[in-house]
Amino acid sequence: MLPPASSEAPAPRAGRRREEDLLRELHEFLEYNKEKEDKFCCEIADPPGKRIRLENMGEGAEDLNQNGALQQTPVADDVNVAMEISTPKVCNVCLGILQEFCEIDFVKKVCQKVNSAEYQFTSFVFSVSLPPQLSVREHAAWLLVKEEMGKQGLSLAKEDIVQLKETYKWIIHPLFSEELGVPADGKSLFEVSVVFAHPETDEDCHFLATVCPDCFKPAKNKQSVFTRMAIIKALDKIKEEDFRKHFPCPPSSPKNICAALEIQCTNGAIFVAGRYNKYSRNLPQTPWIIDGERKLESSVEELISEHLMTAFKADSFNFSSSGREDVDVRTLGSGRPFAIELVNPHRIHFTAMEMKELQQKINNSSDKIKVRDLQLVTREAIGHMKEGEEEKTKTYSALIWTDKAIQKEDIALLDDMKELKIDQKTPLRVLHRRPLAVRSRVIHTMKSEYIDDHHFRLHLKTQAGTYIKEFVHGDFGRTKPNIGFLLKRTADILELDVESVDVDWPPTLND
């Protein structure tokens, strides 16, 4: 008899019973109830043990007695023989996923690969990619069970069925958790993924493209139109009778089980922010490459990121900043805010002291840049660097030359100009990478500093996004008004420094 139902749900088992043990217990259960209670009528057309004995007889000489009759074997022995000789069939619905890939040996194989990759993680999320045709087989099984239950006056909605993927995760999660020694967490940044394939049944879903062609449209980034989502969409749309015409219910049993094609693990991105100073007039912010040819050997981005990549053991990175300076422009003062996304880092835990040491290592590696306030931040926090970017202000210092001699009083008029509005067409020097447009900008304040008859320094506080070089020389009249126009002479810029970027991010750290 089955044990009485408990009022409490049983705790998930750490492992799975072997198929042979379950088969033995099932036979014992059926035999016990057949002998003790005459309530179970088990109609078995071909008892497994006898059928296997017949299939494995060959010529059958050793299994016949002297009178040519089959030798009788006790039922218990028959079951044992069946279990010894038979090879379990591949499930016609899960294609062996629940038969072979819930075992501890497979779990250990996956975890060995995870551990060998030497990731830092405190939890994990497990993702599995099943062959898309499994959805077709699940659908067929549901139709069959629904039909049988209907004969008994019962209903079975598709929503009542637990999907195979969820079942597999329910079984495998505690096994992985025990083996890895960390909990499973759906929000974890560390992902363990397994990709299964079953080439033998790949064509199971092809009929859907004929019945529901509008569900299968080619996509540039997809190798096949038979994606899981497309198949589910088609299964929701196809009529039951049309499905049964093209696919058997129940599905046929395959010869082979699924194969685990890929076992991968990845860590979610880590974000590092700070401010950088650039002291060189021969260093671009990002790699300077034209027509595949590198113009300069390094860049601000590379001088910072190469150390972060090594420390975090990341696969790649993405660099962003609050604006950018030209290759010949220095960035002084408190520096320019920047953020670097480190993709798939193997190391993710750094103390404040370790971050400070990493900052010092970057600063010691080059005299062209310096980094400050280096810290770990969240993806969401990076938004502070970009939000309201054009409303921010920036302060510059420009060394200007004029063709005609100047006196202090000639440039004093610039000091009195406040909130000067200018219109700038996209500069000729950047027109190859930016769309043609007219942008209105504001020069908030200017303060001139006389040097000699042909040179003066101009300190400007402007709206972010102002092209300072073009404001000085006019860019052939594309920026109006400009310094040359205001001084009624030709003006050009010799040097430009960014003195401050007024973005209150990232937070300043104490030395």
**pLDDT for 17:** 58
* 497 flagged as catalytic: no
Closest by CA position to 489, among listed 457, 453, 460, 461: 453
**pLDDT score at 367:** 97
> How high is the pLDDT of residue 126?
95
Q: How high is the pLDDT of residue 388?
A: 66
If you write DSSP's letter for every residue of 184-220 in order, what string do you get?
B-TT-SEEEEEEEE-GGGGGGGHHHHHH-GGG----T
Rg of the Cα trace of the chain?
Answer: 37
Query: CA-to-CA distance for 195 and 175, rounded, in angstroms?
Result: 18
Residue count (the chain): 511
Contact call for residues 258 and 95 (beta carbons, < 8 A)? yes
DSSP per residue, 328-391: T-EEEEEEEEEEEEEES-S-----HHHHHHHHHHHHHH-SSEEEEEEEEE-TGGGHHHHTTGGG
Helix (H, G, I), strand (E, B) or coil at 399: strand
Cα–Cα dist 396/502, whole Å = 12
Q: Give which of 274, 510, 271 is closest to 374, Cα–Cα.
A: 274
Scored b (16 or more CB within 10 A) or e, 53-63 reads: beeeeeeeeee
With b for 16 or more beta-carbon neighbours within 10 A and e for fewer, the 185-205 pattern comes to eeebbbbbebebbbebbeebb
The amino acid present at 100, given as its one-letter code, is: E
Q: Give yes or no for a contact between 319 and 337, defined as CB atoms under 8 angstroms apart.
A: no
How many whole angstroms separate alpha carbon 94 and alpha carbon 138? Answer: 8
SS3 166: helix
- For the chain, the straight-line distance linking the first and the last C-alpha, in angstroms and rounded, comes to 74
Kindly give the parts of the chain with pLDDT less than 50: 1-15, 37-85
> Contact, 141 vs 253, CB < 8 A?
no
DSSP type of residue 238:
S
Q: Read off φ and ψ for residue 416, nearest 5 degrees.
A: -85, -10
DSSP helix/strand/coil, 420: strand
Out of 63, 202, 242, 326, the active site residue is: 326
Token representation of residue 263? 């076992």
For residue 106, give the nearest of 88, 132, 135, 126 by alpha carbon: 126
Q: Which tens digits make up the pLDDT trace of 70-129?
A: 344 444 444 444 444 455 789 999 999 999 999 999 999 999 999 999 999 999 999 999
Q: What is the pTM of this model?
A: 0.77
